[in-house]
Every structure is written in C-alpha cells, then in structure tokens.
C-alpha cells in the first residue's frame, strides 16, 4: 500500500458532498484531490509489478547496463512512451492523513478513516512519476475552512496505511455500507443522482456526492481519532 512521509503535494480540489449512512441517515463528507511527484521505485506499493510494466532499464534487450549511470540497473526509461497514464480502480480504506499547513499560518489537518482512491500514475522519463489521487474523508467544519484556504497550494502530506491484515476487512465494511445506501448527489453543477441501494458496484466520483462550494460551516463530524504513529525515516514499500 502506498505510504507518503511529508511529501510535497498540491491540494488541487476540495469537493464537498453528502453520503448515506445505512438507509436513512446522511452525513457530510469530502473528496480531496492531490497531485504529487514520487520516485518510480514506489510504484510497486500501489500494485505489484507496476514499476516493471511502466519502466525498463536503459538499453534493455538482453539488458546492457549504462555503467556511467548512478545506478546502472535503475529502471528509468519508459516502456511505453505513448501510453496513457495508468489508472487504478481499487480503493484503499483505513488510511490516516496529515496535511501540514503551518507555513500558511493555518492549523494542521489530521484525518482518520480516510479512503485512498482514483489513483492515476503519469510516468516520466528519468524515473519520476506524477501521481494524482483522491482522499475520501469526513473533515470537521473547522477543517473544511482550512482546506478551502489551501486549495491550489503546496503542502506537506503524510499518508499512513492501515495494518496489512485490516485492509480486506475494511473493504468489506465499506461495501456493506455502500449497499445500505450510496452517496447522494453529483459533482458541482451536475444533476446529481443517488446510487442504487442494492447495487454492489461502488459509486463513481460523480455519483458519490454533490459539491457545495459555500457549505463551509460547522456541520462536520467529531474530530478524527487520536493520530496513529507515523513511520519514521525513509519511505519503505508496504505490500
């Protein structure tokens, strides 16, 4: 699973919406879209074998390494230069996210029980990948005000995944909740339709909720639970 430790990221968009809880209740929710550049060595955190499917070693046909390169065996050349960006259809619930906003004289935002989704990887020559993704979450009203102020700005973002053994359990719980009632509404400016209650198919972003640009109020959930321990040191692959 993808893990980020104080990575420089851009908060590209904040989409406010509502979502159903069971069949009768609704609660405020949000999708936060980020872009960040990561080394391609992290691609296998997202999907096993993704690095080798997008990159190859220089002069790879029998692999004749460039002995003058810093790492002669590094996979830095695009395998399919004209291919469209790779996209994932998976969701990863159970993340803890921290958005450090001190540089802008704003409080940090900590979000628990976050769902990482809609990952897109745009591979670039040299080994850098432009990653975009959304975080489905339930910020407080105060957090929403901070996130609004941070839109379009670069912040330090940390993402810590759940324990490996918890992922499938969390996915099953998310699926059960979706069957009880998918999110209502659509993206800002859209017609908005709630998802079918008995449909096993997860809602698309457009189905998941309608954005309310001026809904910056205090309707948010209670603050996220106590922060989990952050990984220290360099990033490590979490499979």
The one-character DSSP state at 23 is T
C-beta separation of 29 from 14 below 8 A: no
Instruction: Using DSSP, state whether 76 is helix, strand or coil.
Output: coil
Closest CA to 2 of 99, 132, 126, 123: 132
User: Which residue is associated with the tokens 């040299």?
Assistant: 126
Per run of 10 residues, the mean pLDDT along the chain (length 239 residues) is 96 95 87 97 96 88 50 84 95 95 91 97 96 97 96 97 85 77 40 40 42 38 42 40
List Cβ neighbours of 157 (8 Å cut-off, separation of 6 or more).
Answer: 4, 6, 7, 8, 9, 34, 36, 97, 98, 99, 100
Q: Which two tokens stand for residue 235?
A: 């990033």
Instruction: Show the tokens assigned to 174.
Output: 């998310």
- What the block records as the tokens of 107 is 């409080």
pTM above 0.75, yes or no: no
C-alpha to C-alpha distances, 15 to 12, 76, 93, 130, 139, nearest whole angstrom: 10, 35, 18, 21, 11
Please give the pLDDT value at position 70.
53
**Residue 82 Cα to chain centre, angstroms:** 25
Pair type for strands 92-100 and 154-160: antiparallel
Tokens representing residue 86 in the block: 């790779």
C-beta separation of 12 from 152 below 8 A: yes
3-state class (DSSP) for residue 120: strand
Burial of 236 (0-12, 13-18, 19+ CB in 10 A): exposed
Match 């990948």 to its residue by tokens: 129
């Amino acid at each position: 699973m993808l893990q980020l430790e104080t990575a420089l990221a851009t908060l590209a968009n904040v989409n406010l919406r509502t979502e159903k809880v069971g069949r009768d209740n609704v609660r405020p929710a949000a999708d936060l879209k980020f872009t960040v550049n990561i080394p391609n060595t992290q691609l296998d955190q997202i999907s096993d074998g993704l690095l080798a499917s997008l990159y190859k070693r220089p002069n790879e046909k029998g692999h004749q390494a460039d002995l003058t390169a810093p790492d002669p065996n590094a996979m830095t050349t695009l395998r399919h230069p004209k291919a469209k960006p790779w996209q994932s259809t998976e969701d990863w619930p159970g993340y803890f996210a921290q958005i450090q906003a001190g540089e802008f004289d704003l409080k940090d935002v900590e979000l628990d029980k976050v769902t990482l989704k809609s990952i897109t990887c745009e591979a670039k020559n040299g080994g850098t990948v432009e990653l975009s993704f959304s975080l489905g979450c339930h910020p407080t009203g105060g957090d929403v005000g901070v996130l609004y102020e941070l839109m379009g700005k670069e912040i330090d973002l940390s993402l810590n995944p759940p324990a490996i053994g918890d992922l499938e359990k969390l996915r099953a719980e998310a699926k059960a909740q979706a069957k009880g009632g998918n999110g209502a509404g659509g993206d800002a400016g859209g017609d908005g339709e709630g998802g079918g209650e008995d449909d096993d198919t997860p809602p698309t972003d457009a189905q998941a909720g309608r954005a309310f640009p001026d809904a910056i109020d205090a309707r948010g959930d209670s603050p996220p639970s106590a922060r989990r321990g952050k990984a220290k040191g360099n990033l490590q692959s979490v499979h």
